[in-house]
Each structure stands twice: as C-alpha cells, then as structure tokens.
Structure 1
C-alpha cells in the first residue's frame, strides 16, 4: 500500500533527511549534507536478486514525479520476477552505443593506438576511402554489396594496394564489432584479395641515371604542377635514401645544419631505431632553402593546408608524380603525360634508386644498408653495433657528387 503523496514528498524534500517507504520496494531518499541539512532528494528501489539485497537509484526527485517513480519501480520489479537484474541492465544500457560505422571505427581506433606503431595508417585509409561510402550507415545494416562498392571505387581510381588495405581494415573493423556484440556477422568476411586489388608483387623499380635526368628535367620544367617543395623532397629522398614519412614529417629541431647532421628519432623511424644521418653539402644547401620556405614553421615541409595536418601529406608526392605521368584520379579531364616514354615510378622507388646508385658507386652493402636505416641481418646484425657513420658520410658525399648535375644543375 502506498504511503506517500505528492504534497508529502514535496514537504520531505525541503526539510526532512531520511529514507521514506512508498511500498513495493520504492523509497524516497533525502540525504543529509555535511551541515546536517537536506541534500538533493532521489528515488530508490530496493529488491532482492540471487538472495542478495540490492538498491537501485531511479532518478533525482527533480527529474521524476511520484507517479513516474511508481511506474519505474513496477517495471523494474517485473524485470526481477523475470529473472533479470535491473542494476546489470542499467549498466548495459549505459555502455557506449555504436549506431554508425563511424562510431565503431572510433572505438576500434582507440585499440589501434595502443597496439599499432603507426595507427595513423588505417585511420587515413578509413577516412579517405571507407568512411565516405559507409561511415554514416548503421553498423548493423552494412551489407557485402556495400563492401564491394568500397573496394571497387578504390580499384577504379587505380590504387589496387589501397584496395587491399581497405578490405583488410574493413574485416578488422567489423570483427571488432562482433567482439563487442554489436553485429552478428562480418559483411567483409567473404571477400579475398582477388576481389580487391589482387596479389601484390614486390616492386623492384629503380631509376637509371638517364631516367633520373629525364624525370627531374620534367619536374623543373613544370613548377606550377610540380612545386618547389615537391622537387626538393624528391631530391632529398634519392640523395639520402630516407623514407617518405621520415622526411615529410621531419621537424627542424632534429637538424643541426652547422654540423651537417640529422638526428632521426627512434619514434619516427619505421625500423624502430634512431639514426644520425650525415648530410652532404648538397643536402645542407637544400635544407637551407627549405628553412627560408618554411618561414616560422616547426616542420621542414609545412602543410599548405593547415586545417588538415601541420606537415606535407602522405599522398602529396605520389599524386604530384602521377600528374606528371598524366594520371590524376577524381578529375573529369586527364592531364597530359609530360614524362613521355619514361616508365612510371613511385616515391618509394627513389629510395630503391638511392640504394642501387650506392652499389654502383662501390659502396659496401652493409654501409649502404645502414644509409637506408635498414637493420643488418643475421649474425652481423646481432653482433655488429658499429653505426658506420664515417663510412656513410663518405658514401652519401660520393652519391651527392654523382647526383648534383641531375637534381641541382647549374
């Protein structure tokens, strides 16, 4: 039998701390503050579950009337009679909801930040090539046809390796959804590499001296399409043999141009090993020019679109090179092929070209490998901790002498 009325509850809330029963397990609770005055009142339900007494806060008095509290109490007691624990159900309902694929991705990406060395890679592929197609879809409504649409669009843009990556990330993303009991099946599970970009063959493209001369001549002749920043970046990549991300994301604090060294930090090195890179005179000249071009930026290659990222983007150089070959995805008109009969190459091929040129100049293999910041293999890699700094200095100076007429003529 109910013992409370709306007027009595209003009076109790103002001046009488305590716990007041209404019947059926419902209580009106007025807590006592530190100065022994009534605190913020609330509704509470007492019930037994698995032979243990439980207490569940329903709501603040200001948010729920007496009649509404009685209705909520009756609902919760019905759940108890059905063998359900209202406290457990409340905790479950308060867990993060994953309505859209974007919601699921944000949770998955938190996991990636803890387990991956470079979590920005799957994030970049997702935001650029997956999210525009299915990001706003309800996570439980994505079908296999939607996945096919994602990988087909990437294939049509001429990026088979990215298509493979996108398929892999879709599988991982929706498997994460299965783990969280958000979905019951993975819409990407039936697809294989053959359905995306196909089995990738290892590239062995390295440019000859003649090809380098042709490419850099075209770069110089088209400064509006191939900017000076792009030119200097490609020049340094073939001159130093560093990785694209290591150079494009470099900060000025890593450099001492007076001593002609670049201290590549371990956390930015793909190999996980920091390296002191000796800079030949030609490289120092280019970095001095880049200092002027960077103005007051912390980055060697500051982004020209600061709203996106503070440094040159990961796709900038490859897109610029593609344009020189008459390849520009997402455009209605196809640009002319300015490279003529030159075989297509990518940014990473410049790094391979550096390694090949070092070998052609008689640089020992173990020195050339360290120039590229490769870990030495086998027993030599375990026991030989010598960094070959002097040898690398001589090797890169020799390479700079060979490349100067090509990348810095006149």
Structure 2
C-alpha cells in the first residue's frame, strides 16, 4: 500500500520522521493499527479493517494525547466489536451524534427551566415590544413561576396548565386567570420560535368567558368618588380626580411627567410611547385640572407629578380598597355597586355625551382610535379638534362641580361646540 512503511522490532513513534507526503506506519503489535504521520509532523493512530466486504478506517486519536498503549487497547476493543458483527467506525459516528444530542438536550434543559424562560421572554420580547411588560412579568411570576419553579417548560403539559388555571378560577381570580393564560400562550409561542420548545400547547382555551364591562357611574356615584378622593390624600386622591376630569387612562395619569405639562398653554402633551394606542395626544386642561396640578408638590430629582422616586405610583389595589371604604363611609355605611378604576373613563365618556358633546369630539378627547376615527377616517381626518376638546373638558369640569355640589340635573341642555 502506498504511503505505508514497515516498522522495525524496536521502533519508537518519536523516531518516525515526517516526509514530503502523508504516510502510515504499521504498529507491528496490533493487526490493522497504523500510525499516521503528516508532513507537518502531526501524528495519530488509526485502525484499518474490512466490514461487509468494504475497506474501513477508524481514527483512534492524535499523539501524544493517545499513546501506543491506549491506541492498542482501543484498536483491540474495536476488533472485538468487529468480531461480534459490529462496525466500529459506524459505532463511533453514532456515539458522536448521541453525544451532540445529549449536549444540546443539556443546554436546552438549562434554558428550559420555567423561571429562566420567563426572564428571557421578558428581556428579549416583552420589554422591547410591549408597553405593559411589567404587568406581563407580574402575571407570569406570580402564578406560573411560583407554581412550576425548577421544572422544565417542555415537561409542562395541558393537564398542568388546566390545573393552574382552575386553581386561579377557584380562588376567585377568573379574570387574572384569563390574563395569565394569554401571556403564557405568548410565552410558549415565543419559546417555540426560539427552539426552546419543540411544540406549542395548542387546543387550550381561556378558562372563563369574559363579558365586556359596561359599568358606568351615575352622577351621584361620581360625586361620591370625587369627595372620597379628596380624603384619600396624595398621590391617589389627585390621580382619581384627574381621571374624572380628563377621562384619561389610569397609568397615563399616574406616570405623568412635568415635562409633559404646559401650564402656560394649559395642555398636557401625552407622548406616543406612553399612550396605550401609541398615538401622541394633547389633552386640553380645564381650569379645575390646572388648579389640581399647580397644588402638587415638586420633588427634586424626580420628573413625575405623583412620585418622589424613579418610578410612578403603582399601589392601586390598596388605594382602591381605601377609596371604597371612604365612599361607603360617606354613603351612610352603604357601599355602591362594585366598580374598577377604568370604569371612571367609561363614565366620563357617558357623562360627556349626557351634556351634549358630539361623539366624534368625545372620541378625540379620549384619544380613541376606533369609532369615528377608525380605519380610513383616521388617515384623512387631520383636524385636531383642539378648540372643541377644550370646550368639552371645560364644560365637563363645570358639570362635575355642579354634581359634586348637588346642583346638577340630568340631561343638561346641549352645548354648542361649533367654532368658526
């Protein structure tokens, strides 16, 4: 065979000198074992044999990492497999494939741990793509991580998910169960796209069917909320009153910054990145709103209207419980029907309509993107309605003042907002 040189009885691997071409030197002690010497001087061992009538080669390893004794032992073991009808080279390839698969499985197992997947999902998907990522993080950590911490996400099946959601429903958190399920479904889809999961958990439906909320506070209830907010104190009392006067969303008001407020022009410029619909919105400020804002404390080092720190206030559950207690106290010990903070926004919309504000002005004032300003209308309708919105909010502030003082009557004569 070309390139193969015979060995001498006392040959030493170190003594084999490289040539201009690659050469193979028989070991001389184990049949078929050769020492491969490259022109560079690199040396390795290999076993040549025949399997199923075909010549085969099994690379054993490089020298000096694998010396003569180890190479001969490996060659003899391979010859033993050959005697049992197995192909040593094929076995080696299969072992490598299995080792790579095991390594990938081990790596995936580390990434697959529920709490790690949640953290990765928040950092790589929720934060860059969603404005309310903190709520997503809260939902997933509170129930998903708390229930399955330490487990692999790939091991979580449909039955596990149903048990989790059922427990949430049973404890009276049906709506939260729906919200958690929605975020868990997003998480699993993301994990599939990243190769963390092989398959999504399809065929699971939301645990409960939600009915759209239609709770609207009547004038008497709105007056009770306004008065109770006055006893609630900073910052939640002022936040609730601004919600009543502007119809803005809770988090938009709570996270308002001084740089957004133009008291001279009496405008609150809500940036697109803080708006739920990601559309910038200029809110005309009625004198009543300006008065509330002017009385707010200023905190050095904080740009927030309602916080001295680096984050806006978030303890709305406790504040709402306190607000409910104050309303009950002012109502002679009788609570009013349950409402949530967001119902105030719906109540403002209803209240604006009740005093004669046109629907398209209400929608613009509340920064709605559906209804009158949806689809093609939003593309061509560029009128700002700034004057109409200012008149609407000022009329609404006067109406709130009247109902709080007990002077309002239902169906006040419609206000004309036509300008020029």
- TM-score, normalised relative to structure 1: 0.68
Label 1:147 to 1:139 Cα distance change in 2 as closer, same or farther (>3 A). Answer: same
Equivalent residue number for residue 369 of structure 1: 363
> CA shift at 1:100, angstroms?
1.2
Label 1:135 to 1:407 Cα distance change in 2 as closer, same or farther (>3 A). Answer: farther
Equivalent residue number for residue 162 of structure 1: 176
Deviations 1:39-81 (A, max 9, x none): xxxxxxxxxxxxxxxxxxx9xxxxxx9479x99xx9xx88863
Equivalent residue number for residue 217 of structure 1: 227
Q: Which structure would you say has the larger Rg? A: 2
Does 2:388 correspond to 1:391?
yes
In the aligned structure 1, how far is the partner of 2:348 from the partner of 2:283?
A: 14
Correspondences of 1:4-403 after superposition (within 5 Å): 21-24=42-45, 66=65, 81-82=93-94, 84=96, 92=104, 97-109=110-122, 110-116=124-130, 118-183=132-197, 189=202, 191-193=204-206, 196=207, 198-220=208-230, 223=231, 226-292=232-298, 294-302=299-307, 310-313=311-314, 316-325=315-324, 340-375=334-369, 376-377=373-374, 380-403=377-400
In the aligned structure 1, how far is the partner of 2:332 from the partner of 2:90?
A: 76
In the aligned structure 1, how far is the partner of 2:362 from the partner of 2:228?
A: 28
- TM-score, normalised relative to structure 2: 0.66
Q: How many residues align?
A: 333
In the aligned structure 1, how far is the partner of 2:352 from the partner of 2:261?
A: 23
Deviations 1:331-371 (A, max 9, x none): xxxx9x98724111111111111111111121111111111
> CA shift at 1:254, angstroms?
1.1
Give the gaps of 5 or more residues in structure 2: 1-10, 15-38, 47-61, 75-88, 407-420
Give the gaps of 5 or more residues in structure 1: 5-17, 26-57, 59-64, 327-334
- Structure 1 vs Structure 2 CA RMSD: 4.1
Contact 2:131–2:274 (Cα < 8 Å) also in 1: no
Contact 2:220–2:403 (Cα < 8 Å) also in 1: no
In the aligned structure 1, how far is the partner of 2:253 from the partner of 2:91?
A: 61
In the aligned structure 1, how far is the partner of 2:146 from the partner of 2:235?
A: 30
> CA shift at 1:229, angstroms?
1.1
> CA shift at 1:191, angstroms?
3.6
* 106-115 vs 371-380, greater mean Cα deviation: 106-115
> CA shift at 1:140, angstroms?
3.5
In the aligned structure 2, how far is the partner of 1:301 from the partner of 1:166?
A: 29
> CA shift at 1:401, angstroms?
1.5
Equivalent residue number for residue 43 of structure 1: none
In the aligned structure 1, how far is the partner of 2:332 from the partner of 2:312?
A: 27
Partner SS for 1:23: strand
Label 1:144 to 1:208 Cα distance change in 2 as closer, same or farther (>3 A). Answer: same
In the aligned structure 1, how far is the partner of 2:388 from the partner of 2:159?
A: 56
Deviations 1:114-168 (A, max 9, x none): 5445444422321233222223323334344543443244335543222111112
> CA shift at 1:89, angstroms?
6.8
